Structure 1
Amino acid sequence: MSPSPSIATLDTRALRQHSEALFSRCQWSREQLLSFQATQLQSMLQHAIHSSPYYRDTIGALVAREAALAAFPVLNKHALMENFDRIVTDTRLDRHQVERHLDGDDPGSLLLGEFSVAATGGTTGERGITAFDGAAWLAAIATMVRFQRIIGIEETTRSMAVFASSPVHISHRIGAELRAIRPKAPGLNVLMPTETIVETLNAYQPEVISTYPSFVRVLAAEQEAGRLRIRPRLFRTSAETLTQDVRAIAAETWQATVANSYVCTEAGPMGHECLRADGLHLAEDAFVFEVVDTDNRPVANGTQGAKLLVTTLTNRTLPLVRYEISDMVTMASEPCPCGLPFWRIASIAGRREEMLRFAKRGGGTIDVHAHRLRSPLTGTAGVRQFQFVPLPDGLEIRISVFPGIVADAVSRKIEDAIRATLDAVDAQPSILAVKVVDAIDRSGAGAKVRLVATAAARSPDKR
């Protein structure tokens, strides 16, 4: 039996009131915002050590002596899952109970009539779960509504989403709540037949579409072919790394802007670009963000870090203190001209798990991030999808191509371009192979396209 679709669980009046209160904070000064954040942090830390056995043991002494947050231990996904029952602050919840609910027939419903729960496989492939109490879920959705208002999306805007098919995934759950305040918006997901999506979009004529960056490419190809006939002014993207070529595709195809958003399943909506599309403004009234190096030492604004640490301020059921996200983030070095008080992420280079290792000319090894190899693929006509698969002695590049394209010619061009890119940084893989497949499957509950896959994640051969 397939899971039931998610339904809205929030009272729309309460959501409107809370989002209005959050929106008013856009007028705060930077000093007001940071003062509020500091007060909320101390409140959350006190709650954590009094209500969570895990935090009482690990940070109780640090809170008692008012240590700086940078002195606190880091919590990663493995530790979260291993210690879930001791981290969660409501004694009615445990990991197995949440997992049973998510694996059941109606994962989109409230657990125990109170808790919104979700799961993620993430880039690492290790499953993570989360639970939001009613107040935390209201805060999460109101934060998303505020972000949307910042970029001109109101309740009357013809806005719709095309994200995950499974109610296990947080994007599906958020979509259900947002459709409740826009009742005419149709529900679509990326695993539906393309023909169905095209027909629905043509009928609805959305002003704004929220989806994965990879799906913007799909829609652009349909528009170019003449099957899709829409005129959106804005795309909101999330969950996959947004690259400049996707912005260019949206601009060339529809003269549309792309505004990126930043959502973490375990934490909720965390950031969003304003219409300047020059970095992700962060919800610092709901989180504390730290960019650190591999040894968890802070890095300066304008310097790329190895990971992002997030401390939640609104979810009292599952508080996260310095939770590790493997995004390689660079914070902005100057305020945004838009005037919002929220600082912003200037760029996300990708995940640490997307780093590829090759033999190096002259001996040793060299690490090359998969995003460095994107350009030869995005710049090659006829390529529909692509994915990198690391091999013990090199790299396999999987591609799917559009109908009528000579796959052999495209493969040779890509192989030559990738070799030249790697050669420029002294990387010398023994094996470099381009493999043409019918399609590259979307994976996990989120139905995202992984940039870097494992060799075990096979796609059907085209030939």
Structure 2
Amino acid sequence: MLSRQRAELQSMLRHAVHSSPYYRDTIGAPVARGAPLEDFPALTKRVLMENFDRIVTDTRLNRRQVEQHLDGDNPGGLLLGEFNVAATGGTTGERGITAFDRAAWLAAIATMLRFQRIVGIDETTRSMAVFASSPIHISHRIGAELRAIRPNAPGLNVLMPIETIVETLNAYQPQVISTYPSFVRVLAAEQQAGRLRIKPRLIRTSAETLTQDVRNIAAETWQSTVADSYVCTEAGPMGHECLCADGLHLAEDAFVFEVVDADNRPLRNGIEGAKLLVTTLTNRIVPLVRYEISDIVTMATEPCSCGLPFWRIASITGRREEMLRFPRRGGGTVNVHAHRLRSPLTSSAGVRQFQFAPLREGLEIRVSVFPGVDADAVSRKIEDAVRTTLTAVDAQPSSILVKVVDAIERSGSGAKEKLVTAPATRLPDES
């Protein structure tokens, strides 16, 4: 497989240099001399957007045309009758677009179907998804393709009224549900309240960082296994857990993955990186060479016991944009990833949703609570628990504000819940 990957990589690089003015200028020389991939420059989302017209290899396509199609009346339809296009704001809030021709799109769907097979999902499985509402988002588009082989599967999205979702799930009785980790909490709360009455054997998650507490919630509520998947709008489906749930198997015959440090230097397996660089091997319309994804990733050091040949991501801590900075006891600053602060909130009874917003030398924590909960008591418990967690890593924020809100809205075309966002309020001495 790795031999095939190397051959496909060289073919893709030659194609990119031949057909893309951008790649001709940026990697033409290293490709000609057979330089290793790590010598090539990385491609950020900003650079992709600024140079889209020079990166795309079909001269009929350009950024303005793709954006106009996505902003039109039928964004889920084929552009020029043959291109699937999609957009993302992602966790970074920076817009990105991409296009797939028929061959690239079929390769993406085939990769997803192959991954589903490894967790026991086929065309006879009562499987359904609850993801994005917008057809410009790739999860919506993949869901539409997968419903085509399950014509009775209902089409739901996370922005529908929860009453509608509950009623539909009760009627369909899915064996497998695919959704965001944050929405697993919502469904579990409905099940525990007695309104939702389903018995899924498997929960598939995607698009948000999956944490152990969500696995625990699914196990306690439905006795279900959770299998995480790894999808990037610009690249397509890239990885999936097997039923061992011990890391994400990567589609190494369709991509090259590099865990790198802040200077884009590859790191050994087992070492946490600053970001992930992905090179696509199947999309020749918008080739991505060392495309930067800001996930903080660690690769596995041992093969999976399931026997699959694909190597694995052992863990994804979260996004680089979810790192919070606080004053350090004794001077200086300390970085704390927002996921470290999740446990005090997930272990607090009555908390329904939560979100962090950095303040100057402080932190605002927004929470929504279930009806009948003493919001003041929950707020005090959260503040004390978060302070304790931060103190353990020598972080000393000047203030922690817990703000109770009615609901935390989902954002972007993917309708995801952002873990970290900009503050809605400021401390009195902030400008």
What TM-score range do you get, normalising by the shorter chain? Answer: over 0.9
1:253 aligns with 2:221: yes
User: What is the correspondence of 1:282-293 to structure 2 with a 5 Å cutoff?
Assistant: 282-293=250-261
Query: What does residue 322 of structure 1 align with?
Result: 290
Q: Separation in 1 of the partners of 2:151 and 2:10?
A: 39
Query: What does residue 115 of structure 1 align with?
Result: 83
Amino acid at match of 2:129: A
Write the deviation string for residues 405-430 of structure 1: whole angstroms up to 9, x where unpaired. 00000000000000111111111111
1:401 aligns with 2:369: yes
TM-score, normalised with respect to structure 1? 0.91
1:347 aligns with 2:315: yes
- Residue 457 of structure 1, CA deviation: 9.6
**After the TM superposition, which segments of 4 or more aligned residues of structure 1 sit over 3 Å from their partners?**
none
Q: Secondary structure at the match of 1:349?
A: strand
- Residue 76 of structure 1, CA deviation: 0.4
Query: What does residue 429 of structure 2 align with?
Result: none
Query: What does residue 340 of structure 2 align with?
Result: 372
Q: Aligned to 1:58, which of 14, 23, 26? A: 26
User: What is the correspondence of 1:304-315 to structure 2 with a 5 Å cutoff?
Assistant: 304-315=272-283
Amino acid at match of 1:41: L
Amino acid at match of 1:178: L
Cα distance, 1:43–1:450 mapped onto 2, change above 3 Å:
same
Write the deviation string for residues 150-196 of structure 1: whole angstroms up to 9, x where unpaired. 10001000000000000010000000000001111000000000000
Q: Separation in 1 of the partners of 2:394 and 2:40?
A: 39
Q: Separation in 2 of the partners of 1:122 and 1:192?
A: 21
- Residue 203 of structure 1, CA deviation: 0.2
- Residue 364 of structure 1, CA deviation: 1.1
User: What is the correspondence of 1:201-212 to structure 2 with a 5 Å cutoff?
Assistant: 201-212=169-180
Query: What does residue 9 of structure 1 align with?
Result: none
1:432 aligns with 2:400: yes
1:80 aligns with 2:29: no
Amino acid at match of 1:356: L
User: What is the correspondence of 1:92-171 to structure 2 with a 5 Å cutoff?
Assistant: 92-171=60-139
Uncovered stretches (5+) of structure 2, i.e. residues with no partner:
427-431
Query: What does residue 245 of structure 2 align with?
Result: 277
Q: Secondary structure at the match of 1:195?
A: helix
User: What is the correspondence of 1:20-59 to structure 2 with a 5 Å cutoff?
Assistant: 33-59=1-27
Write the deviation string for residues 117-176 of structure 1: whole angstroms up to 9, x where unpaired. 000001111100010011000000010000001100010000000000000100000000
Q: Separation in 2 of the partners of 1:168 and 1:140?
A: 16
Amino acid at match of 1:392: R
- Residue 360 of structure 1, CA deviation: 1.0
Write the deviation string for residues 251-301 of structure 1: whole angstroms up to 9, x where unpaired. 000000000000000000000000000000000010000000001111111
- Residue 431 of structure 1, CA deviation: 1.5
Q: Separation in 2 of the partners of 1:92 and 1:285?
A: 28
Cα distance, 1:90–1:456 mapped onto 2, change above 3 Å:
farther
Q: Aligned to 1:196, which of 164, 176, 180? A: 164
- Residue 456 of structure 1, CA deviation: 4.7
User: What is the correspondence of 1:221-236 to structure 2 with a 5 Å cutoff?
Assistant: 221-236=189-204
Q: Separation in 1 of the partners of 2:248 and 2:91?
A: 20
Query: What does residue 17 of structure 1 align with?
Result: none
Q: Secondary structure at the match of 2:390?
A: helix
Q: Separation in 1 of the partners of 2:425 and 2:105?
A: 34
Query: What does residue 10 of structure 1 align with?
Result: none
Query: What does residue 215 of structure 1 align with?
Result: 183
1:450 aligns with 2:402: no
Query: What does residue 22 of structure 1 align with?
Result: none
Write the deviation string for residues 363-388 of structure 1: whole angstroms up to 9, x where unpaired. 11111100110110001110000000
- Residue 393 of structure 1, CA deviation: 2.6
Uncovered stretches (5+) of structure 1, i.e. residues with no partner:
1-32, 459-463
Amino acid at match of 2:378: V
Q: Separation in 1 of the partners of 2:421 and 2:71?
A: 24
Instruction: Give the total of aligned pairs.
Output: 426
Q: Secondary structure at the match of 1:63?
A: helix
Cα RMSD of the aligned pairs, angstroms, is 0.9
Amino acid at match of 2:62: D
Amino acid at match of 1:65: R
Q: Separation in 2 of the partners of 1:144 and 1:374?
A: 30
Write the deviation string for residues 186-235 of structure 1: whole angstroms up to 9, x where unpaired. 00000000000000000000000000000000000000010000000000
Q: Separation in 2 of the partners of 1:424 and 1:35?
A: 47
Amino acid at match of 1:335: P
Write the deviation string for residues 301-332 of structure 1: whole angstroms up to 9, x where unpaired. 11100000000000000000000000000000
Q: Separation in 2 of the partners of 1:125 and 1:386?
A: 19
Q: Separation in 1 of the partners of 2:260 and 2:25?
A: 24
Q: Aligned to 2:381, which of 392, 413, 430? A: 413
Amino acid at match of 1:389: A
Amino acid at match of 1:36: R
Query: What does residue 326 of structure 2 align with?
Result: 358
Query: What does residue 351 of structure 2 align with?
Result: 383
